[in-house]
């Protein structure tokens, strides 16, 4: 099912994300993970593509596993910073062969110590989106950044670029993680004012260990509110307590979002179906509520 249709059909959706293994020998374990995730019946499962600048040989495989084996719509990420136009065409062909119609089109992180872009590469996600659109009949999503993308001059400039992405054919957006819902609400007003009216899926990251918190600072630059830092500091030495607190924090963010009319939520599950399951369990009545 096309994700744009799914978001229109349902007022509230919760989706999950997983990242593929680097080695083919770990695929069997990854298939088990997809099965576990699918049992939670998320609205869709997204599968990342070579995060931090690489490519991925297994994204299509796992997206196929989610959708065609386990019956949950899949969203395959595709980045262009580490792939040339030929590789992109190859992945699009593979997606078509597996009837996978949903793509999250991204520039990706620029790999270190390389010239970017080379003549046979796309500069921005908007160019990749145009290419996918020309290829035909995919439902295309893109990324957005409630605190502004780290390379952008300002949040306003970033939103102008986001508008280009939507005009290029992006039918929905998924946000970078954020830990203070007010940041998202402010961003949504600004985006709407610029005429960005496609559905925005709020990306929520349950932080369940100290290492993750350090990575968030380094990778996304997301603002970590005092309340959040205190939680991590207080329970840092007790992994079970921190996990429970992280699940509670993410749950609270999600029900506040739903109560304020932001009905589409994506959980950055970090390949942890138990964490996603605990959050969904906490929200069971809220998700049923009309």
**Catalytic center residues:** 17
Q: How far is the CB of 285 from ligand FAD (least distance, A)?
A: 28
Q: Does 264 bind ligand FAD (CB under 6 A)?
A: no
Q: How far is the CB of 137 from ligand FAD (least distance, A)?
A: 21
- Closest by CA to 18, choosing from 276, 202, 280, is 276
Nearest Cα residue to 205 out of 246, 234, 237, 238: 246
Q: Restricting to residues 183-202, which ones interact with ligand FAD according to CB under 6 A?
A: none
Measured from the CB atom, is 4 or 126 closer to ligand FAD? Answer: 126
User: Taking the CB of residue 284, how many other CB atoms lie within 10 A of it?
Assistant: 9
Minimum distance, C-beta of residue 50 to ligand FAD, in the bound complex (Å)? 5
Q: Is 102 in the site for ligand FAD (CB under 6 A)?
A: no
Residue 174 touches ligand FAD, criterion: CB under 6 A? yes
Question: In degrees, to the nearest 5, what angle opens at C-alpha 188 toward C-alphas 10 and 206?
Answer: 70
Helix (H) or strand (E) holding 161: helix 155-168
Per CB under 6 A, 147 contacts ligand FAD: no
With binding defined as CB under 6 A, does residue 164 bind ligand FAD? yes
Residue 14 binds ligand FAD, judged by CB under 6 A = no
DSSP one-letter string for 62-110: HHHIIIIIT---EEEEEESSSS-HHHHHHHHHHHHHTT--EEEEE--PP
- Site for ligand FAD (CB under 6 A): which residue of 58, 165, 243, 264? 165
From 9, 32, 151, 274, residue interacting with ligand FAD (rule: CB under 6 A): 151
Q: How far is CA 97 from CA 17, 25, 131, in A?
A: 22, 23, 18
Least distance to ligand FAD, CB of residue 198, Å: 14
Contact stretch for ligand FAD (CB under 6 A) within 60-68, 119-127, 130-138, 257-265? 119-127
DSSP code string of 20-66? --SSGGGHHHHHHHHHHHHHT--S-EEE--STTT---SSHHHHHHII
Would you give the DSSP letter of residue 177? P
152 vs 287, which CB is nearer to ligand FAD?
A: 152
Query: Residue 48, interface with ligand FAD (CB under 6 A)?
Result: yes
Question: Which parts of this chain interact with ligand FAD (CB under 6 A)?
Answer: 48-51, 77, 79, 104, 106-109, 124-126, 143, 149, 151-152, 158, 161, 164-165, 174, 176, 203
């Amino acid at each position: 099912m096309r994700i744009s249709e799914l978001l229109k059909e349902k007022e509230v959706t919760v989706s999950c994300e997983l990242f593929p293994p680097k080695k083919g020998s770990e695929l069997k374990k990854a298939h088990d993970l997809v099965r576990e995730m699918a049992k939670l019946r998320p609205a869709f499962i997204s599968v990342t593509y070579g995060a931090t600048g690489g490519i991925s040989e297994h994204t299509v495989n796992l997206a196929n596993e989610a959708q065609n084996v386990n019956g949950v719509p899949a969203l395959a990420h595709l980045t262009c910073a580490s792939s040339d136009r030929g590789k992109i065409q190859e992945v699009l062909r593979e997606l078509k062969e597996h009837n996978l119609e949903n793509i999250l089109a991204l520039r990706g992180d620029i790999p270190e110590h390389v010239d970017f872009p080379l003549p046979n590469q796309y500069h921005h996600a908007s160019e990749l989106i145009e290419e996918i659109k020309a290829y035909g009949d995919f439902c295309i999503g893109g990324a957005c950044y409630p605190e502004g993308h780290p390379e952008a001059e300002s949040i306003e400039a970033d939103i102008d670029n986001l508008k280009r992405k939507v005009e290029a054919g992006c039918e929905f957006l998924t946000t970078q993680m954020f830990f203070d819902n007010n940041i998202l609400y402010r961003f949504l007003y600004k985006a709407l004012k610029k005429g960005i009216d496609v559905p925005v899926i709020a990306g929520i990251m349950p932080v369940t260990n100290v290492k993750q918190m350090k990575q968030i600072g380094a990778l996304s630059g997301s603002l970590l509110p005092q309340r959040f830092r205190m939680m991590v500091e207080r329970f840092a030495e007790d992994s079970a307590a921190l996990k429970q607190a992280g699940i509670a924090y993410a749950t609270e963010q999600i029900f506040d979002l739903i109560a304020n009319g932001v009905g589409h939520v994506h959980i950055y599950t970090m390949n942890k179906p138990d964490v996603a399951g605990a959050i969904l369990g906490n929200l069971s009545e809220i998700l049923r509520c009309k």
